[in-house]
Amino acid sequence: MALFGTDGVRGLANGSLTADLALTLAQATAVVLGQGRSAEARRVAGKHATAVVARDPRVSGEFLAAAVSAGLAASGVDVLDAGVVPTPAAAFLVGSTDADFGVMVSASHNPAPDNGIKIFAHGGVKLPDLVERRIEAAMSGPKLLPTGADVGRIRRFADAEDRYVLHLLKSLPHRLDGIHLVLDCANGAASGVSPETFTDAGARVTVIGADPDGININDGVGSTHLASLADEVVRLGADVGIAHDGDADRCLAVDAAGNIVDGDQIMAILAVAMKERGALAGNTLVATVMSNLGLHRAMAEHGIIVERTAVGDRYVLERMNEGGFSLGGEQSGHVIMREFATTGDGLLTGLHLLAEMARTGKSLAELASVMTVFPQVLVNVRGVDRAQVAHPAVTAAVAAAEQQLGETGRVLLRASGTEPLVRVMVEASDADAASRVAGQLADVVRQHLALPA
């Protein structure tokens, strides 16, 4: 079974994801990523490879990040310990320090008992599948560990957060003065840096979900639990709400009436704005197969091409890099603004969304009206063999559903890359039709892919 999933290595901390595994993975990463770029030149100069290591505030991150740092230092890699910062901050810091690679210990939007390890190559980009497979192979290979002065050092990255904040503020096309923002930090990695950044950008900020204790990350707050944010926006009469997930690579929003504005709508707003000022490369937006049909319709109306990729922001970024495109992302709120970031960045996305509100003087609801969201029903079917998602009976049922919906809807079945389930997604112009078709397809999946009792 492959170790890496859609977004790094993830599992129950101290269950499937142990300190031993983290240390071994770090050593293998040092072998694969620490020996390539200018390795001979460093050896001649007596310098070590360098890696940035960061984490979110969940309690298990303390021992897992320590294990990662130990594995890297024992392999002759100097570690810059950035502490608790968002995932996009870690990616940015890898690039800004010219480090050889970086490691982020986080399980993103998962609950506190889970954790994960995300690896960034030189420049702060996520790893292609081929490199992940090389790292997996190296985990069982020989480890030629250095001794004496050749071992790595672990040093505190004292100005990591300040560098990231300055980078974000420099990216802004417009200040946020006059906007009252309710900010939900998911009791996660952005709890310190995000309120500071939005305040420095000029917004009046009310903060919720910014009291991490190691076990309350994503617990009833953040981008996967938007009810509290919506209630607070309406109660305070605020202009907008922004929600991050645990590692702040996502951004979802809430308008003044408490209505959710998802990643597709945010991308639509940013794409139109970027096209107007000539900043949307190739007049193209890169989105995944999960993006709403309404996004495609709206972009077509504005002369913007939408290219689809597999689910996962690394696949979005790969296509953006291949085509030289400047904007892409996912419905879940991973949005990549390639001019400023190499991965989804919830703070960057939120800042630029609010900057468009400030620039135009329009409410978020007015901006979001650029796109009509088609009713979308997502059913997670558990207890099935996700490897058999292409079963003939399932494929035939999908084809029949697509014929039934015609051009007014869409069907997508996919095996989850992070959980043991099959996702059934149906869009239609009518909510009842979407729900009915999704239920029928879910039943077919359960019938033909059920695991033995």
Q: Give phi and psi for 61, each to the nearest 5.
A: -65, -25
Which stretch of DSSP H or E encloses residue 318? helix 313-323
Distance CA 167, CA 339 (A): 12
11/73 Cα distance (integer angstroms): 24
Give percent of the chain with pLDDT exceeding 70: 97
Average pLDDT, the chain: 93
30: Cα separation from own chain's centroid = 24
Distance of CA 221 to the CA centre of its chain: 17
Tell whether the model's pLDDT for residue 133 goes beyond 90. Answer: yes
The band of 167, judged by pLDDT with boundaries at 50, 70 and 90, is very high
Residue 182 CB-density burial (10 A; 0-12 exposed, 13-18 middle, 19+ buried): buried
- Pairwise CA distance, residues 8 & 1, whole Å: 14
Dist. CA 360–CA 340, nearest whole Å: 22
**109, 190 contact by CB (below 8 A):** no
Flag whether pLDDT at 329 surpasses 80.
yes
Cα distance between residue 99 and residue 259, in whole Å: 41
| 242, pLDDT greater than 80 | yes
Q: Is the pLDDT of residue 314 over 90?
A: no
Helix or strand or coil: residue 333? coil
pLDDT of 445 = 92
CB 348 within 8 A of CB 286: no
Are 91 and 120 spatial neighbours (Cβ–Cβ below 8 Å)? yes
Strands (E), 188-279: 204-208, 240-243, 252-255, 260-261
Model confidence at 415, pLDDT cuts 50, 70, 90, reads confident
- Altogether, the residues listed in the chain come to a count of 453
pLDDT digits (tens, 9 = 90+) for 1-48: 579 987 899 999 999 999 999 999 999 999 999 875 555 555 555 689
Q: List residues bridging with 329 in a β-sheet.
A: 287, 335
User: pLDDT digit string (tens) for 355-404?
Assistant: 999 999 999 999 999 999 999 899 999 988 888 888 999 999 999 998 88
**Other C-beta atoms within 10 Å of 68: how many?**
29
Q: Say what the pLDDT of residue 42 is.
A: 57
* Angstrom distance (rounded) from CA 190 to CA 307: 30
What number is the average pLDDT over the span 304-326? Answer: 92
Q: What is the dihedral sign for C-alpha 93, 94, 96, 97?
A: positive
Q: Give me the residues paired with residue 409 across strands.
A: 428
At residue 208, the 3 state secondary structure works out as: strand
Location of structure tokens 């599992």: 11
pLDDT interval class at 407 (50, 70, 90): confident
Q: Which two tokens stand for residue 43?
A: 């050896």
How many whole angstroms separate alpha carbon 236 and alpha carbon 95?
A: 39
Catalytic status, residue 108: yes
Helix (H) or strand (E) run with residue 53 in it: strand 49-55
Give pLDDT, residue 39. 54
Q: Domains in the chain, please, with CATH?
A: 9-158 (3.40.120.10), 163-368 (3.40.120.10), 376-449 (3.30.310.50)
One of 60, 69, 106, 108 is an active-site residue; which one? 108
Average pLDDT over residues 275-296: 95
pLDDT at residue 269 above 60?
yes
Binding residues for Mg(2+): 108, 245, 247, 249
